[in-house]
Amino acid sequence: MKKIVLSALFIVLLGGASFSQGIKFTKNDTIKYIVKNDLFRFFGGTFWTGAEFPLNNRKSILINGIATYGSSMGSNKVNIGYGAEFQYRSYLGKGNFQTNYPIYLASQFMFRRIDSYDKTSNYLIDPMSGKDNSTVTETKSSYNVFYFGVLLGCQVFVNQVFTVDLNFGGGLRLTQMDGEKSFTRYKSISDLDYSGVIPRFGVTIGILQH
């Protein structure tokens, strides 16, 4: 498993490094970092936040922390967990051209640890006494999620105060349940324990720190 994770991380870094030229990060080069928050993740019971740090006028790294406590819409499962995401970004273009709408290509690696609790209700009424003998059974499953892929995005700088970051792409997600040697199979793409190719779309709000 360690070899798989290290190989995936190497591929992510190599992919980002291959796009070494790009437009200037922004017109204002005094930015120290940008605090990011993915607001849409709240609907899935996940707090997804971090910061983007400029390395120079063409590259940056984005590090996010992930905390999950809740359930996805339409699901009876309650998920509790943590994780981290790493992006290596290269802003595309030529020379020293500056813009407030930089386009970037990013390599991405993510790890999540999830404990999933699923409650099943068994309804049983005694026909003689009418007494309710219903029971609730709770099952727990724990697993690790690995993801690596590529994103294409545009970060819009608004009045040098905040940014709107739009991106889309895709990659490979691999999920391994505790006690299993292989990755999961035959799962729905909407499930957190899905393994396979998956698309990615994101909208994050950032606050500039000078």
pLDDT tens per residue across span 28-63? 567 789 999 998 887 778 899 999 998 876 889 999
- DSSP element (H, E) containing 164: strand 162-177
Judged against a pLDDT cut of 70, whether residue 160 lies above it is answered with: yes
Judged against a pLDDT cut of 60, whether residue 193 lies above it is answered with: yes
Report the phi/psi class of residue 193: left, alpha or beta, with left for phi > 0 and alpha for psi in -120 to 50: alpha
Q: What span, in angstroms and rounded, lies between the C-alpha atoms of 163 and 172?
A: 28
Scanning the chain, the segments in alpha helix (DSSP H) are 2-17
In CATH terms, 2-114+141-209 corresponds, of 2.40.160.20, 2.60.120.260, 2.40.50.40, 1.10.357.10, to 2.40.160.20
Give the pLDDT band of residue 16 (cuts 50, 70, 90).
very low
- Look up residue 116 and give its two tokens: 């999933």
Query: What is the torsional sign of CA 185, 187, 189, 195?
Result: negative
Q: Which is nearest to 156 in space by CA: 198, 111, 101?
A: 101
Which pLDDT belongs to residue 42? 77
How high is the mean pLDDT of the chain?
A: 81
Q: Which is nearest to 148 in space by CA: 3, 2, 11, 52?
A: 11
Judged against a pLDDT cut of 90, whether residue 196 lies above it is answered with: yes
Domain range list for the chain: 2-114+141-209
Which pLDDT belongs to residue 6? 45
Which pLDDT belongs to residue 13? 41
